[in-house]
Chain A
């Protein structure tokens, strides 16, 4: 980053973006991005009642159970993080 970049509006933009959990950066790896995607997806399922109802019918579960399951899955949506090669 250049010295001049540090003070302009774009740097503020990035700072603003960094405040949100789901945003990414150049060093994000496949796993981390996938975790974000999964969590966002589950949050979306839980947030939209019709979708939740649709899943409930498809899985033959109660809506409450579905919601509970999704929330539980948000904990470790992709399983444990893979071992890092470098450290």
Chain B
């Protein structure tokens, strides 16, 4: 904001404050927003619950309906949106994490919760059991996976080659093949046509027009399959396509593939209608479309975008059928059908597909090698001899088979005949037994076992333990808060008893559940956190498992999820130790999946910040120099980058070693490694700024060489690194290096690449802002090219470019001065592209606000005003108020130099105030309030008066937003020209404002009450007292406003009015208002009474107020007490004159049977005590303390709170020693309940005044061995 406006505002604020506080020092925290609003009671609850409900609803509705105006009764009755009512009833709209995740983040579901690993620490010297996975096993598996990947890649490449060859020689295959390939859709049409003849008319016609044909359309003729009963039908029809297809299927020998190509058509084609599955075929032909081998052209759909497949077929089989127990899993066969092959795995995956993957794993399960026991059972006992395996035999340990160790989420893969259970109700979810919380359908696969209680007796202790864990987890996940809390505590307390294995085997699969919601994830993560703390070193075998589920949190878009993830990993690394962490994460560092590497790098950075960078340095060094794979180097360097980002300036002590570790990456043979190295250097430099340039010495040369030899992405990264390093240099070097790099930068100005543009702009900004770069150099070398390339219309269209360009230009202006920059772009204010004009305007605004307008000469000034007026008038949409702000900033910067242009500006404003569009009128009014101060400086009071009259005429405005702005403009004018010179005169203006006070729109209310308050403050005498009384009544309603500013302005206005017309009438109104039923209204009234008492001195108000206490009505008495409480809070030390007057009243209230009386009186005592501390009122205070003290055993939270605070107040006023003496009687009372309360008081006393207690502690007598006396205090000189 412009400094002058700010200054005037500051002055005004100061003045207002002075007036508001008149002769006291304190403010109402309720109105002015104290920091501990929750800690004391702001209400006078009569029938507490009802009232609370009331206000709750008010708040909620009011927030949403701030802009609606209607009587309150109507607002209350208004039906609220479905989400809100859901909220109330406890059924929130599910916020599933997966719904907001992008494809990349969804890849977390690809990961497998790996089985536990060998814990070298626990095992000691022992050789690990071969069945346990050791580090070596994992590494070997990773190597295998990588090899598999390579092979798959090769296969894919070869296939592509083949395909290309085939396409290159299309004439070779049998004669009709080319025609068939070209006319594949046509061919299909032939089938349709034949059907057409068979009698399905309309559908086929449609199909003819669409190129995708009816395969994808829902088909209702079941006869179709019957008509063509041969399974090979399609193959026959398109022989050429089938050749290509054959090849492909044959080449990928994955079992899943073979199964689907063969099994599906058979199931669908041979027995249509006979099996229950046939029903699905008929009902959902979409799936059959997928299952049918498609001609060659569409092959890409299989290979590249598996996601579309999953999402395109939201089949019954895909989700609920498999999940809900009781329902026969019809979808079984369908599910097995579109099993994506190994290649598909790399694409993004939907939860449905994830389920499919699990099925596939289960199939592998069934094909697992037989165990010895199984073999024993199968074969006869004699006649066989068990041979030893050959020495060279090594058992296969693929991770998929290893998965046996983890519980499979689905009990029975494929279809199993369910056991008959007659008691089962199929459509109603079975009620959870034993007070367990409600289970969602997707929970059944995890918690389903809890539903059958019969077997509980037969279970082994291990199974019982697992059952217990499941119960607790279900309570944590779905339970009510108290349930959740106890369950969480039990899990924590018994963590070691349950053991790490059972716990994590239950928790972690839950976290991988595709339908998890934010809240659930938060709770489960919390469980892990607590459990981790308890288990400590026992977690070691499970570290990788945990990482698999927690790492995705590190890249979650929700900030709190990221923080949570970091916390868990940091705790995990503290519990497991560095060695285990490294052993667990090392294999992932060169994982084939980029997602895994990325999350691992982030996790490693967290480990580094938890265990200290030095501990990790040797490992990092080794990884960054890995010769085996570039992925390892890439990840290693990325870890450094993430460390820099995570811990910021704390990298400084290790900066040199970190730079040394990664510096060789700049010369790496792999381009990705070079890029990430440069980015890491940028991150390090950014974190270290402005220190640490000496650490970067060694990389300067390769960086500079790099920018000359690289192009594209790598160059962008290098430039970014340089951009961050240059600001660290001292002036001389910075200037030299800037000149060096500028050549490249200027060359890259023309780059069409968006990313490059952003980086170049950023680097220019950083270079320009460094000390050593001279303005002359910028002017001569950078500016021409810069403006030629960047200040073009296209840049205004992309928001990020726009922002970056404005920032950079403002930074350049800081060096070169206003005139240079504004001079170059001022012409563009008349450009024909509006976004561009807006960008120009924003830049000018920022530059002028930063640097002022003294640099601008007469000619430029003329151009500027001209351009601004043009741009302001030509704008069609301005949501961000750029034009308005720009106009205001320039006018305020020019100050008196605007005088010649003011008539023109005012003409524009007047014209626009009359515009049809509400937005334009609003903006015109807003502009008046921005330039009012400058108009006054230019002595254009007549003009302002004129504008005042114009605005006055527009007070009938019907759009509340506009009306608010008009009132704001009037306020601005009144503020600068004063009450006496105002036109229209105040006595005409105010009666016009009274009805507007009824308006319920927040903006109108706020501006109106501000204006009225200002008039009441400065020009009350221009208006008759009757009018003020009328306004008083209106103001009572406004005390309920939800916006703090409005309430504050209203109570202040009460004060001004009371001062102007005397407190008696106002007070009578307010005291009457205490009798109303509405609680909120009463609360506001008590505040107003206190404010009136404060502005007109308490003695004018207290007699009437205390008299009102005699009314035998609960509401009124409480209101009086509440007013007293506020009153003593506001008047502070003035209270010493009134304390004796109100003491009898408070005595009575503190002895009242009603709790609220005592509570409110206690808070009044607190404020009183705090106000008069040190002013010699101890006698009265001790007297009051005697009445307060018996209330310490109250249990109602509000009351006990008020009482404790009163005692705290007494500690301040009377001194800690006196309160300690009250305390001593109960500290060692035989009854525990009593002791507890007294120790609580003692503790708060102790925290508040520890030192003061030393002198007042009781003398304890020594016992046989122990000395309790404090002889030092007896010393006397």
Contact = CB atoms under 8 A, between A and B. Distances in A.
B1197 A40 contact: no
Contacts of B1263: 82
Given A10-B1197, A78-B1266, A17 B1277 contact: no
Contact of B1243 (A24, A58, A78, A79): A24
A51 to B, nearest CB: 9
A75 B840 CA distance: 71
A3 B1235 CA distance: 20
Interface in A1-55: 2-6, 8-10, 13-14, 16-17, 20, 22-26, 28, 30-31, 33-34, 37-38, 40-41, 44-45, 47, 54-55
Q: Which of B1201, B1243, B1246 has most A Cβ within 10 Å? A: B1243
Contacts of B1270: 37-38, 41
B1240 A17 contact: yes
Interface stretch (B149-157, B504-512, B718-726, B1247-1255): B1247-1255
Interface in B1190-1207: 1195, 1197, 1200-1201, 1204
Q: Which of B1195, B1253, B1268 has most A Cβ within 10 Å? A: B1268
A82 B1197 contact: no
B195 interface: no
Interface residues of A, number: 40
A31 B1266 contact: yes
Contacts of B485: 6
A17 B1232 CA distance: 18
Nearest to B1244: A17
B1244 A13 contact: yes
A59 B1272 CA distance: 10
Contacts of A16: 1247
Q: Which of B1204, B1272, B1277 has most A Cβ within 10 Å? A: B1272
Interface string B1133-1162: 000000000000000000000000000000
A57 B1275 CA distance: 10
Contact of B1254 (A17, A41, A78, A82): A41
B1276 interface: yes
Contact of B1200 (A10, A38, A47): A10
B376 interface: no
B370 interface: no
B1109 interface: no
B644 to A, nearest CB: 34
A40 B1253 contact: yes
A22 B1265 contact: no
B1236 interface: yes
Given A9-B39, A30-B1260, A44 B1254 contact: yes
A26 B1235 CA distance: 5
Contacts of A4: 1197
Contact of B1232 (A9, A10, A26, A80): A26
Contacts of B696: none
A54 B1197 contact: no
B1240 A14 contact: yes
A34 B1244 contact: no
B1267 interface: yes
Interface string B679-704: 00000000000000000000000000
Contact of B1236 (A2, A8, A26, A78): A26
A80 B1260 CA distance: 17
A45 B1253 contact: no
A32 to B, nearest CB: 11
A58 B1253 CA distance: 23
B1260 A40 contact: no
Contacts of B32: none
Interface in A61-87: 77-80, 82
B786 interface: no
Contacts of A33: 1227
Given A9-B1197, A30-B1260, A78-B1267, A59 B1275 contact: yes
Contacts of B1228: 30
B1246 A78 contact: no
A40 B1246 CA distance: 10
B395 interface: no
Nearest to B1236: A26
B482 interface: yes
B1137 to A, nearest CB: 33
Given A10-B1200, A17-B1240, A57-B1277, A34 B1266 contact: yes
B954 to A, nearest CB: 50
Contacts of B1277: 54, 57-58
A37 B1265 contact: no
A37 B1272 CA distance: 13
A55 B38 contact: no
A9 B1243 contact: no
Contacts of B1267: 77-79
A79 B1266 contact: yes
Given A3-B482, A10-B1200, A40 B1250 contact: yes
A26 B1227 CA distance: 8
B1272 A23 contact: no
B1239 interface: yes
B1128 interface: no
Interface of A: 2-6, 8-10, 13-14, 16-17, 20, 22-26, 28, 30-31, 33-34, 37-38, 40-41, 44-45, 47, 54-55, 57-59, 77-80, 82
20 contacts: A6-B485, A9-B39, A14-B1240, A17-B1243, A22-B1246, A22-B1250, A23-B1239, A23-B1243, A24-B1227, A25-B1236, A30-B1228, A34-B1266, A37-B1257, A41-B1273, A45-B1272, A54-B1275, A57-B1277, A58-B1277, A79-B1267, A82-B1266
Interface of B: 38-39, 482, 485, 1195, 1197, 1200-1201, 1204, 1227-1228, 1232, 1235-1236, 1239-1240, 1242-1244, 1246-1247, 1250-1251, 1253-1254, 1257, 1260, 1263, 1265-1268, 1270, 1272-1273, 1275-1277
